[in-house]
Every structure is written in C-alpha cells, then in structure tokens.
Structure 1
Amino acid sequence: MSTDRTPVEMWFDPICPWAWMTSRWLMEVERVRDIEVTWSVMSLAVLNEHRDLDAAYRLLMDNAWGPVRVIVAAAEAHGDEVVKPLYDAMGTRIHPGGMKDLEAVTREALAEVGLPERLASAAHHKTHDAALRRSHKRGISLVGTEVGTPIIAVEGIAFFGPVVTPAPKGDDAARLWDGCVLVAGTPGFYELKRTRTQGPIFT
C-alpha cells in the first residue's frame, strides 16, 4: 500500500446489493481522494446465523455462505490481492447481471480472474470458516451487531454504509466521502437515516 495515501478498509459480503453500490462509490473516491482501499470480507450468514428469520431470508442466508467462503479460500491459497478482482467478478454477475445461480456465479468468476475451478468446492465446506469469522469479527467489532455490510474504517473512524444509489461520481463522490468521515468522526454521533424509496441502481 502506498505510504502517501490514507489507508481505508471496506468489509463486504458479495451477495449484498447495497455493499456493491458502496464499493462502486468507494472505487470512485479512491480516484478523487488520496485514499487506498483494502477489501475484506464479512458475512451476512454469520451475522444472522442465530437470529429468528422468515423462511425466505433464512434460505438466502444459507446460500450466502458460498460466495464469501470461496473468496476466503482464494485469498488463503493465492493471496489477498485476489479478493477485489474476485469480488468484482462475482458482484458484476450477481447485481447488474442479475444471476441467481450462485454456483454458476462462482465458477464463472473464478474463470474470469484466472483462479482454479476447484476453489468453487469451498462454498460447501467449513474449512475456511475460521478465517471468514475472524475477518467478519474484526469488521463488526468496530461498529456493533446492529448493522450489516458494508463497513468502512479510516484513521480510527468506522461506520456502516453509506447506503446510496446510484453510486456518486467525481466531486459528488468526494463530497459524500468528506461528509461521511466528518459525521462518523464526531464524538457521540451514531445514526443518520431515512426510509429508502428506491432499490439499487446498478448502471
């Protein structure tokens, strides 16, 4: 990581559309502000594993283990530098691509970034869950369990979100970044929210 750029870390779950939107915005912030982002996994499946959920959301959480397990397995085998390209490849298929078959998403994403197809089997095993849980715990410990993904940390400040659509560009992206860091860094500040009136705009 460059020493002249401020280190930022974002935790994501590849199945979360709002984390995807935030990641696209943060990529733009990286272009217009002197930051450098490290991309780390958290897991909605871990976050919700002991919660009482309706049947449809429980099924979604059961399926959510697969993609994030594969990213962790890929990072452990091939280094952390594969995390972002694999997330991009998965997320492009899941979100703007609208693919529902997560096993197909995983196979295609691995092929796109030049990783072995055998890594797809990690989706169905707990082999890498200890590493997944460590990364998840490291992120969620910064903000508490009442939020989900995404989580962003910068210079001792951590916050959930922002939840935004479409992903701001250029000066708009920079202003949102500056505002998020300002309010999140204000002692005693906890929440700023309004009801969402539209879903993610991927284009």
Structure 2
Amino acid sequence: MSDTQLDREAVPFWFDPLCPWAWITSRWLLEVEKIRPVQADWRIMSLSYLNLVQREGQGLSDDYRELMTKAWGPVRVCAAAAEHDGPAVLGPLYTAIGTRLHNQGRRDDPTVIFEALAEVGLPESLAAAATSTEFDQFIKDSHHEAFDEVGLDVGTPVLRIRGTALFGPVVTPAPRGEAAGRLWDGLVAVAETDGFFELKRSRDRKPSFE
C-alpha cells in the first residue's frame, strides 16, 4: 500500500450485491476516490436477513419475498470470498458481480457468479456458498456492525463517515467528477452535525447505470 493510500480516509460501505441503488452509490464512491482523499472500505450486509429475519417479512409482497430468498446467494458468495481471500477481495468481487447483475441486466443468469469469481481469480468452488449457511454468521456480524447503529428503518447502502453511520446517498445516475466531490462534501457536513437524522424526497425515476 502506498503512502498516498495510507493517508486516505477510510469509508466503510455496506452493500448487498443485489441492490441497484447501492450499486449506483458504490460507483459514486469510486468517483469520489479520484478527487478526494478517501478510500472505500467494502463490507457486506444482507437484505434477506434485514427483511426476512429482522423485520420478520412484514409487509412484503410474494414476489419481493421470493426475491429476498434468492438474495442470500450473492452475499453468501461474497462472505465466502472474504473468508477465503481476505476482505480486500470484496471491492473487486462486488464490481465483477454488480457489473453483470446491473449494467448487463443479467439478474437471472446463473453463470454470473462463476464468471465474477473467475474474473477476480477466485476458485469457482466458492459459488457453492450461495446455497449454504456456512458463512451466515460472518454476514450477520458485518450486517449488525452497520444496522445496530443506523437502525432497521433503512436499507442499503450504509456508509460510515467520520464515525457517523448514514443510509444513502440514494442517487441516480452516479455523479461524476467534481459533482461527486460536492456530494461527498455535503455528506461530511451532515455526518458532522450533531443530532442530524434525515433528509428525503420521493423517488421519481428508476435506477440508471450510466
């Protein structure tokens, strides 16, 4: 690791690979890395665990409940990869999975996980974790690190900025260049404001992965 990287501010970022909004926010954070002295610290959470266990499935449609059941797979593979190769692999693996799921629109393609593992040099045998509970405690521990602080009335992404965990930003498309930096600066101001809790408006567009 270079001296420049050591001087960067670590930004824990909790994601579920299946969430399109977290994916867009993650691409924004990579833009911020280019123009601000920050470094993403990729961590996993589980929408399945949040919605089916912590929230006990309340208010879920049948279709969304089915989606949440399937959502265990990708995050379990991420957990297995982190256990196998260390947490630094989460960033590259998230990019490999997310590009296929979201940018390429291959959300129902069973080859996505195998391709993503191969792209980052991991054994395809890790794909078996998708249907195993072996790494669920790892997922829960990482998940609780964020949600015990930020609360259960939010989803993903969650970031921790200067000691404060925040849900969001939920934005589309991902801001680029200095626009990405300005959004970061605003979040820093929010995170450093004691007693700040919420800003929100209704979404009026679908996720854009441009």
| Equivalent residue number for residue 97 of structure 1 | 104
Check the 8 A contact 1:15/1:67 in 2, yes or no.
Answer: yes
Check the 8 A contact 2:57/2:65 in 1, yes or no.
Answer: no
CA deviation after TM superposition for structure 1 residue 142, in Å: 2.2
Check the 8 A contact 1:184/1:190 in 2, yes or no.
Answer: no
1:40/1:76 CA distance change after superposition, 3 Å: same
| Equivalent residue number for residue 94 of structure 2 | 87
Q: 1:9 and 1:194 mapped to 2: Cα distance?
A: 25
Number of aligned positions between the proteins: 203
2:77 counterpart of 1:74: no
Q: What is the DSSP-based 3-state SS (H/G/I as helix, E as strand, rest coil) of the residue aligned with 1:171?
A: helix
| Dislocated runs of 4+, deviation >6 Å | none
Q: RMSD value over aligned CA atoms?
A: 1.1
Unmatched tracts of structure 2, length 5 or more = none
| Equivalent residue number for residue 187 of structure 2 | 180
| Equivalent residue number for residue 42 of structure 2 | 39
Pairing partner for 1:164 from 171, 174, 180: 171
CA deviation after TM superposition for structure 1 residue 79, in Å: 1.2
| Equivalent residue number for residue 126 of structure 2 | 119
CA deviation after TM superposition for structure 1 residue 19, in Å: 0.2
Check the 8 A contact 2:162/2:191 in 1, yes or no.
Answer: no
| Equivalent residue number for residue 12 of structure 1 | 15
TM-score normalised per structure 2: 0.93
| Equivalent residue number for residue 57 of structure 2 | 51
Q: 1:114 and 1:36 mapped to 2: Cα distance?
A: 23
Identity across the alignment (%): 55
Q: Cα deviations across residues 46-104 of structure 1 (Å, max 9, x unaligned)?
A: 10111221100000000000000001001101111211111001000110110122532
TM-score normalised per structure 1: 0.96
2:196 counterpart of 1:201: no
Q: 1:102 and 1:56 mapped to 2: Cα distance?
A: 18
Q: What is the DSSP-based 3-state SS (H/G/I as helix, E as strand, rest coil) of the residue aligned with 2:203?
A: coil
Q: Which amino acid in the other structure matches residue 84 of structure 1? A: G
CA deviation after TM superposition for structure 1 residue 140, in Å: 1.0
Q: 1:38 and 1:100 mapped to 2: Cα distance?
A: 25
Q: 1:168 and 1:100 mapped to 2: Cα distance?
A: 24
Q: What is the DSSP-based 3-state SS (H/G/I as helix, E as strand, rest coil) of the residue aligned with 1:141?
A: helix
